[in-house]
Structure 1
């Protein structure tokens, strides 16, 4: 039953709403109203069109006198209506300036924005918003325009006349989700994956949905689902983009160049995804702001906006535990902290055992139970970010990251009733720090000044009890960079970017042996600078970016010019064309030592170009594609060609007679990528296929041309995601690809003498292929809330459901007990491996 009070109150609301609607609908343009009033009162208004433009008021009551009419108009506008005689009325500014107020609000979350910028264009007049997002301004020229801006939000411009009102108006700002270009495909394959107008793929970790086998938005594992992105040995440290080696990927974390990317020797990403908000992957057509990485650019960015809210999260899986927090320090100051550590040195889970066996198979570590020895392995990473908004035009951001892997291997043996312990260690770590200052000098011109250092180290000591020999190896990369970047917006359509970079990189390699006594140290330093410029155009159906980068290498006294191009043209609502091309270079590479390895583990050491034995690596790449989109069906077909010059034989990972040769060559790859993705309300399913031919060319080899060690001719992946509800999701996926090339010994003459040593006599390189690789993965996710502010997620992931034994690499060693004096060693992929994670977020 409805009480009398309720009945009265409901009717009051209805009447009030109707009255408000009627009053709102009575608002008319002043220019139109004056024409109507001239006819009604038989008078003539004298005014300038610019003075009454964009002025809207409620219509005056009918039947009032001229004096009452003019009084009403004077009261409701900032204009002065004055009679000259009975027929003529002049209209002029009562004041040249007005007072305005408003509230600036986040359009997505409907929250007020603190310290948002309010500027009167063309005048030295402006202010910032308070905690409630409110602002007040006096003496604003009535014909002026105002700009409203906030860091990482789109700037909005409004005429002062539109803000003149007895009530403060609300102004909504939209978040700028992608600085380089706008997002054109908000959901790609799974939620959290997006396509940008410039062709890059963006991973938004906050919105990450689900992918086969994954229990978290592992940054580097996620990008492996993209066409043209492979990992021939399952390692995230060995990501091969369009046939390139892993050291040809530029890895950036908040502007810091990183030289170490994986924990557990590459099986999981070294970057905590829960503080990394956005990852952009670019295969071709890269912005001129980026150098190095002749195969791809992987640009990771953490949260960059001050929220003034304490938030965070924590979780664990069967390998490690992590946590992150965002802590407001002041209204314009905030600190972000994240940390992760494995508990593998304390607890051995089934997941850990499989990962450990996969990383250390066929060496002394894996057989520790037999050799009366023990091993301890752990990893950790942590990062800090300091955010400070100086004012509405200037902001400072500072970052620090530390990544480390640590392996200790203890051997015990007894001689003459005396137990001797010998310890071997392997440590990998990467320290990085960055600071940058953003400045908006006006609504069109902005600059960013940044500086970073990156310090990578791998330090190992390996004791061999059979030869009573202790060998130590040390590899250190220290890079520093200073960069000034500017952006000028001619309009919303044209953006002009320029930059200047100074960079110094030093690499040191040291090896020592105690018996016989031997020590060598090689240290190289390279200083380079670059100037880059690019013009970006985006309007309606066209996106285009043209750029040029000029690099100068001081030690070599050499210029390298790199043009870049990226064009996307939408033909109609369904079809789009894309064209990309670039020249790039890089001066670092990884040397792979199989003879000087550690405990049988393949170890990669960074080396620096000397422009003689190790030249500057240069790439030329072009691609052309067609995209089709209709009713949540997305099809992409892209043909590409890439040639890389300046590679050396000792950084290709050859298992053959050429691995010790110092030869310079190139490889070229041509192929086609195909992807089809169909989405419905609850389903996302996709199929991708890549066909590529990848060949080496080395002049001193016989034959000169042969298949690349990363030549994967055919690669197919498919997945099916199903959202039972918004909280419960499942994902199945599979990968099927050609086996990688490898080299066999010569039949009947498997070994030869090399001085006092017997070595494997390999046949022509990469003439054989491993069996095809196949894997089926599964993952499930369920979200639930403990409270309104505390949310949680539990996820289950299974890698290799069928437990298939995939051979991912194969080589031969001398073994006199074996037939033909050689023994084949196979490295296998992960077996059936489950993993489980639980997270809370607040």
Structure 2
């Protein structure tokens, strides 16, 4: 017993001696507590497990008791509280601290710019800056932060492990994801939420997406038009022209479901609600052999794929529509994600709606109907909606099941009142509806560290139906275009080593297309239905090292109806010459069996004049494309310079499928002649992009020459309908404050080609009809198109768990009147002359959106 007293005495003296010295070495907290108890005759009450692993530097020997307690409170994550003159309690508290962390790559210690960091189970988060640093204030000590970065393994880190009493920034090292060879090349491309992958494709992360000029929502299809080589010559969001291709030549996938319809308001608003979209990958060339059936580009949209353990969601409203989404955890293995959006334009109108309506329905029956029916006797009602739902089931870490549904709908009612021969007032309502419903399922299985499989199946149904009552002739015209496709796909991924991955797979699809027209008086019915079965096998080898990226694949397609094989090689190569410079080479063969035709004589109320048809290998061949591109990149200090030359040839096009929404098509002497030909597009894309933590600016320029070739025509070669020779896009984003961002930008491009009548001989007789006598096709151009747009975004916190944003945007700030199409008709008052008809772009169109997330 005596020996024990001496040991304690020596220990106390040793610790007290330490109080009087400058000693940076840490000692166990339990020893300091014992020393304080003996020196000041007090008792500490604490749980042994709370203090046993804590070590700190010794306090100053001259401190009194209160100073020591203050020192302990400051240096530890514990709460030291005096109960009375003798007893002191020690407890773990829920402190709020400030985090300062630097993120680096495990491979080369490079800072990770643009990583997403958020407090787990909340909506509070930040993006790491160009030095890889981030700071979060008022973070609960007992919480976790989640760090995610495309191409790297996500981490969930306890906040307590990042605490430092002196506020020193800690470093977290992220490891590359071994499952993803196609890593991020540029983390902040054009704006926050846009990233460029090493294979040249572009990823849009809608949840992290910043603002673009004129936009109030992260509209998926409008956002990708900021990329060089991606245009919409008639200003329609749904009509995207990639390197001179038509809109139907883009393969659009929503969670592996093939979609045949992409726009609300007949093209002006994207039909895909971005709030549950995780990423959108846009590929212009060098496509993976996994994909086909789109000779121009691939737009692959994926929704969130991670189970949430806390109810999350949001809602928003703008001057056109309102929407909401929810992420609902059912249990640890099951979750449901749902979203919905509906316009309120059938109840309330706004200046935004009025501009959209005028733009969408100009030159249709809604605005050009019989003079016998006055404006006061016409009325129209339009609305749209969309919805999505996704069921997520994780059987375990190695087997995950997903089921999806998506629905898109547009509905237009057009009512006419008129007086009949008995002097009675009657009314007739015409209707146009457009829908696309998709169902999909996926099973992802991890069989080992090196081998995984994906099994996918989908069903997609698109239909556009119109009932057109023609008052003057008392005639009812019913039209329908329906597409029904089902498909399955099996992918196997074998990781041969850390740099090499082998993809193999099989895909089967069955597509049926129905076109029907029925007339009441005189009685007439025309129905045509075609079905096509397609089998495909594909294989692809992907190699990625620090200097070289190569993806080489081949796809073999077999069309059962025609007993036809098509072999499609694919190549994607990127070679680094230095840390700043890289060369890239891409090429691909692709095919497409379903295309859209333009039918001016059999359109849907004059609003929708495109209908899907299937190849028959006679009058309508399977379209085939060959594309190659070569370029180089410079990337240093967040400055990107990208130059790429491309060549694309698409064979198997017809005169009937070369046109656009709202009567933009072959307005020349060939418009009613069915012929098969090709188009050839070649040009150069240039982009310079500078980003930083507070701003982003870019300038893109595209020069291209796009020509048709139809051997049966004279001349056989002439400019494409979408031959846009020069296109320039310039924009600037700036964070005025941490929560206030502005974006200003403009578009300038050459005018679209059109065909004039022969001067002095504008019309000719064709049988019993007088028609326009067109001159050489597409030999003239419209005036140049120019538009300036602006947006502003303000973020705010409603509470600790509810975030809000208020955005305002204006399209065409200068209210410039741009002509986007021109054609001619015979003058009804003078059969020897013509009338020029111009379709105009949107005028100045403001919009405001308010959104909250929880």
TM-score (norm 2): 0.79
Ranges in structure 1 where 5+ consecutive residues have no aligned partner = 1-6, 22-105, 113-131, 135-150, 157-170
Q: Give runs of aligned pairs for residues 747-766 of structure 1, distance below 5 A.
A: 747-766=759-778
Look up the match of 1:18: 26
Q: Report the Cα distance in structure 2 between the residues aligned to 1:308 and 1:661, rounded to whole angstroms.
A: 60
Q: 2:725 aligns with which of 709, 713, 726?
A: 713
Q: 1:575 aligns with which of 565, 581, 585?
A: 581
Q: Indicate how the Cα distance of structure 1 residues 111 and 155 shifts in structure 2: closer, same or farther if over 3 A, else same.
A: closer
Q: Report the Cα distance in structure 2 between the residues aligned to 1:632 and 1:690, rounded to whole angstroms.
A: 22
Q: SS in structure 2 opposite 1:596?
A: coil
Contact 2:730–2:747 under 8 Å retained in 1: yes
Look up the match of 1:413: 418
Q: Give runs of aligned pairs for residues 585-664 of structure 1, distance below 5 A.
A: 585-653=591-659, 654-664=666-676
What is the Cα deviation at residue 754 of structure 1? 2.6
Q: 2:477 aligns with which of 468, 471, 474?
A: 471
Q: Deviations over 1:334-371 (max 9, x none)?
A: 00000000000000100000000000113331368626
Contact 2:201–2:281 under 8 Å retained in 1: yes
Look up the match of 2:460: 454
Contact 1:777–1:799 under 8 Å retained in 2: yes
Q: SS in structure 1 opposite 2:601?
A: strand
Q: Deviations over 1:462-495 (max 9, x none)?
A: 1222233221110000000011100000111000
Q: Give runs of aligned pairs for residues 140-539 of structure 1, distance below 5 A.
A: 154=153, 179=180, 181-366=182-367, 370=375, 372-415=377-420, 416-539=422-545
Deviates more, 1:501-510 or 1:759-768: 759-768
Contact 2:550–2:572 under 8 Å retained in 1: yes
Look up the match of 1:805: 817
What is the Cα deviation at residue 600 of structure 1? 2.7
Q: Report the Cα distance in structure 1 between the residues aligned to 2:174 and 2:535, rounded to whole angstroms.
A: 38
Q: Indicate how the Cα distance of structure 1 residues 606 and 732 shifts in structure 2: closer, same or farther if over 3 A, else same.
A: same
Contact 1:152–1:305 under 8 Å retained in 2: no
Q: Report the Cα distance in structure 1 between the residues aligned to 2:116 and 2:696, rounded to whole angstroms.
A: 28
Q: Report the Cα distance in structure 1 between the residues aligned to 2:592 and 2:545, rounded to whole angstroms.
A: 34
Q: Report the Cα distance in structure 1 between the residues aligned to 2:343 and 2:735, rounded to whole angstroms.
A: 31
Q: Report the Cα distance in structure 2 between the residues aligned to 1:708 and 1:591, rounded to whole angstroms.
A: 16
Q: SS in structure 1 opposite 2:244?
A: coil
Q: SS in structure 2 opposite 1:709?
A: coil
What is the Cα deviation at residue 784 of structure 1? 0.3
Q: Give runs of aligned pairs for residues 819-838 of structure 1, distance below 5 A.
A: 820-838=832-850
Contact 2:764–2:770 under 8 Å retained in 1: yes
Look up the match of 1:4: none
Q: 2:716 aligns with which of 692, 698, 704?
A: 704
Q: Report the Cα distance in structure 2 between the residues aligned to 1:366 and 1:677, rounded to whole angstroms.
A: 43
Q: Deviations over 1:612-638 (max 9, x none)?
A: 111010000000011011222111000
Q: Report the Cα distance in structure 2 between the residues aligned to 1:225 and 1:759, rounded to whole angstroms.
A: 40
Q: Deviations over 1:315-337 (max 9, x none)?
A: 00000000000000010110000
Look up the match of 1:840: 852
Q: Indicate how the Cα distance of structure 1 residues 419 and 656 shifts in structure 2: closer, same or farther if over 3 A, else same.
A: same
Q: Indicate how the Cα distance of structure 1 residues 538 and 175 shifts in structure 2: closer, same or farther if over 3 A, else same.
A: closer
What is the Cα deviation at residue 752 of structure 1? 2.2
Q: Indicate how the Cα distance of structure 1 residues 308 and 743 shifts in structure 2: closer, same or farther if over 3 A, else same.
A: same
The alignment of Structure 1 onto Structure 2 pairs a total of residues equal to 703
Which of structure 1's runs of 4+ aligned residues deviate more than 4 A? 14-17, 106-112, 151-156, 171-180
What is the Cα deviation at residue 173 of structure 1? 7.9
Q: Report the Cα distance in structure 2 between the residues aligned to 1:180 and 1:831, rounded to whole angstroms.
A: 45
Contact 2:119–2:143 under 8 Å retained in 1: no
Q: Indicate how the Cα distance of structure 1 residues 570 and 799 shifts in structure 2: closer, same or farther if over 3 A, else same.
A: same
Q: Report the Cα distance in structure 2 between the residues aligned to 1:107 and 1:376, rounded to whole angstroms.
A: 43
Q: Report the Cα distance in structure 1 between the residues aligned to 2:829 and 2:319, rounded to whole angstroms.
A: 41
Q: Deviations over 1:643-697 (max 9, x none)?
A: 0000000011211221221100000011000001122332211111000000000
Question: Are 1:788 and 2:794 an aligned pair?
Answer: no
What is the Cα deviation at residue 599 of structure 1? 2.9
Q: Report the Cα distance in structure 2 between the residues aligned to 1:177 and 1:656, rounded to whole angstroms.
A: 56
Q: 2:701 aligns with which of 666, 686, 689?
A: 689
Deviates more, 1:650-659 or 1:396-405: 650-659
Contact 1:371–1:411 under 8 Å retained in 2: no
Contact 1:719–1:731 under 8 Å retained in 2: yes
Q: Give runs of aligned pairs for residues 39-58 of structure 1, distance below 5 A.
A: none
What is the Cα deviation at residue 597 of structure 1? 2.1
Q: Report the Cα distance in structure 2 between the residues aligned to 1:347 and 1:107, rounded to whole angstroms.
A: 39
Look up the match of 2:680: 668
Q: Indicate how the Cα distance of structure 1 residues 388 and 152 shifts in structure 2: closer, same or farther if over 3 A, else same.
A: farther
What is the Cα deviation at residue 305 of structure 1? 0.8
Q: Report the Cα distance in structure 1 between the residues aligned to 2:722 and 2:835, rounded to whole angstroms.
A: 23
Ranges in structure 2 where 5+ consecutive residues have no aligned partner = 1-14, 30-114, 122-141, 145-149, 156-171, 660-665
What is the Cα deviation at residue 155 of structure 1? 10
Q: SS in structure 2 opposite 1:595?
A: coil
Q: SS in structure 2 opposite 1:308?
A: coil
Q: Indicate how the Cα distance of structure 1 residues 516 and 753 shifts in structure 2: closer, same or farther if over 3 A, else same.
A: farther
Q: SS in structure 2 opposite 1:238?
A: coil
Q: Give runs of aligned pairs for residues 110-125 of structure 1, distance below 5 A.
A: none
Q: Report the Cα distance in structure 1 between the residues aligned to 2:630 and 2:500, rounded to whole angstroms.
A: 24
Q: SS in structure 1 opposite 2:347?
A: coil
What is the Cα deviation at residue 107 of structure 1? 11
Contact 2:791–2:810 under 8 Å retained in 1: yes
Q: Report the Cα distance in structure 2 between the residues aligned to 1:479 and 1:185, rounded to whole angstroms.
A: 36
Contact 1:547–1:565 under 8 Å retained in 2: yes
Contact 2:763–2:831 under 8 Å retained in 1: no
What is the Cα deviation at residue 589 of structure 1? 0.5
Q: Deviations over 1:507-562 (max 9, x none)?
A: 01001112222111110000010000000001112111000000001001011000
RMSD of the alignment, in Å? 2.6
What is the Cα deviation at residue 817 of structure 1? 2.1
Contact 1:593–1:602 under 8 Å retained in 2: no
Q: Indicate how the Cα distance of structure 1 residues 486 and 259 shifts in structure 2: closer, same or farther if over 3 A, else same.
A: same
What is the Cα deviation at residue 401 of structure 1? 0.3
Q: Report the Cα distance in structure 2 between the residues aligned to 1:763 and 1:425, rounded to whole angstroms.
A: 37
Contact 1:177–1:183 under 8 Å retained in 2: no
Q: Deviations over 1:153-195 (max 9, x none)?
A: 7499xxxxxxxxxxxxxx9986859946111111011000000
Contact 1:182–1:196 under 8 Å retained in 2: yes
Q: Report the Cα distance in structure 1 between the residues aligned to 2:19 and 2:184, rounded to whole angstroms.
A: 47
Contact 2:747–2:787 under 8 Å retained in 1: yes
Contact 2:724–2:751 under 8 Å retained in 1: yes
What is the Cα deviation at residue 133 of structure 1? 14
Q: Deviations over 1:771-823 (max 9, x none)?
A: 10000000000000010100000000000011111000011112232584321
Q: Report the Cα distance in structure 2 between the residues aligned to 1:483 and 1:765, rounded to whole angstroms.
A: 43
Look up the match of 1:84: none
Look up the match of 2:46: none
